[in-house]
Amino acid sequence: MEQSPFGRILPYHRSAGEHPKPGCSELVRSRGWIADLGQRSLGELLLGLSSVTALGEVTEQVPLHYSGPEADLMRRCSIPVESTKHTWGPHVVRTATRAPIRFRVDPEEQPTWLDSIGPGEVEVHSALPMRHYLAVEQSLGERLSVDSAPAPRFTSERAPEPWHVVFVAVPGWPRNLEFQPADFAAVARSLVGMVDAPWRFTVVTARSTAMADMFDGLPADVLCEPGAARCVDLFASAELVVGTDSGLTQLAALTERADGGGPQVVGLYSRHAHIKWTTGRPGHHAIATRFAQLLALADRSADHAELTDATWGAGADLRSVPPELVADFAARCAGWR
């Protein structure tokens, strides 16, 4: 309990098989639904799709349609949807029915859900996908089937390539507190120094990032801003992905190969609660600054006036984390140590 984040107790004992109070499930069955995920980032879309997982449980066999900027990616989604691409506008998933019930998906409105399982004991649902899922469960008033990690998967036929590591070096926010390309290069050199193996590295970064010769001498390829749909196959081909707290790193954790496996993923968290902004999948790990850990326990966003870089910058600076530590942790996650 001492290390659990602040949260809200579920009004029913879910782990004991209890159901929420009756809600709108019958109305949703009769009229269908629309999930408005807003004009949000890739990461918020991916984690917010857990609401779609929940809604889809009560309208099985009803065709679904997605419209928004990530239509190509949604064609790889384990939730079967028809997709229409728009270069602007919100991400919307809906049933092909008239007058559907609208659900607005907002990540900042979802608390950590705590399920009391005994005196002084709680089951903590802290990852954002499960927060979304349980919020919809209560709105529907119907006990749903998933107990953890309800975010949908993005499928690939690619097989893993031994010793292939992908670095997601897309700058986070604020950029000056994030791992830089030189830090990822230092992680690569540490990995190479640990094990004599046929290493191969792929670095995903933004076009505005100056790479220079940071990976000089390493077997590395650089991809500048590949589309998310293209990244699914890239992540499937990797045994390990290490990346900034970004949508692409979350996509890596949601990538699923034909055999049901996926890469081990290590996210680097500087100013966001690492237990919230994660997929909840067992292969998704985190390295978090002291500031990110404080935010996780308080269950707060860093987007508050009093949480400034002037006050918390040193505690939120990932550059203070030795690349050797990141490499050691990532190697253990991948089973190389």
DSSP letter string over 135-169? HHHHHHTS--S--S--SPPEEE-PPPPTTEEEEE-
pLDDT of residue 288: 94
Q: What is the pTM of this model?
A: 0.95
Tell me the chain's radius of gyration from C-alpha atoms: 20
Half-sphere exposure of 244 toward its Cβ, with a 13 Å CA cutoff?
26
Q: Give the per-residue pLDDT at 178.
A: 83
Q: How far is CA 107 from CA 43, 234, 249, 277, in A?
A: 10, 28, 18, 9
Which residue numbers in the chain have pLDDT < 70?
1-4, 173-174, 210, 212, 303-310
* 270, two tokens: 């500087």
58 with 31: CB under 8 angstroms? no
The DSSP-derived string for 30-42 is HH-EEEE--S--H
Alpha carbon of 24 to those of 49, 99, 122: distances in Å?
19, 14, 27
Residue in 298, 302, 240, 239 with CA at minimum distance from that of residue 270: 302
Per-residue pLDDT at 69: 94
CA distances from 269 to 50, 234, 315, 335 (A): 22, 22, 11, 22
- CA angle at residue 143 from 297 to 31, to 5 degrees? 115
* 3 alpha carbon, distance to own chain's centre: 22
Angle at 94 between CA 248 and CA 45, to 5 degrees: 15
User: Coil, strand or helix: which one is 190?
Assistant: helix
Q: Is the peptide bond before 263 cis (omega within 30 degrees of 0)?
A: no
Burial of 189 (0-12, 13-18, 19+ CB in 10 A): middle
In the chain, beta strands by DSSP E: 8-9, 33-36, 64-68, 82-85, 92-95, 101-104, 113-118, 121-125, 154-156, 164-168, 200-205, 220-224, 240-244, 255-257, 264-269, 284-288
pLDDT computed for residue 32 by the predictor: 97
CA distances from 11 to 42, 107, 137, 139, 217 (A): 32, 20, 12, 12, 58
Q: Phi and psi for 77 in degrees, rounded to 5?
A: -80, 145
Which pLDDT does position 305 carry in this prediction? 55
Residue 188 amino acid letter: A
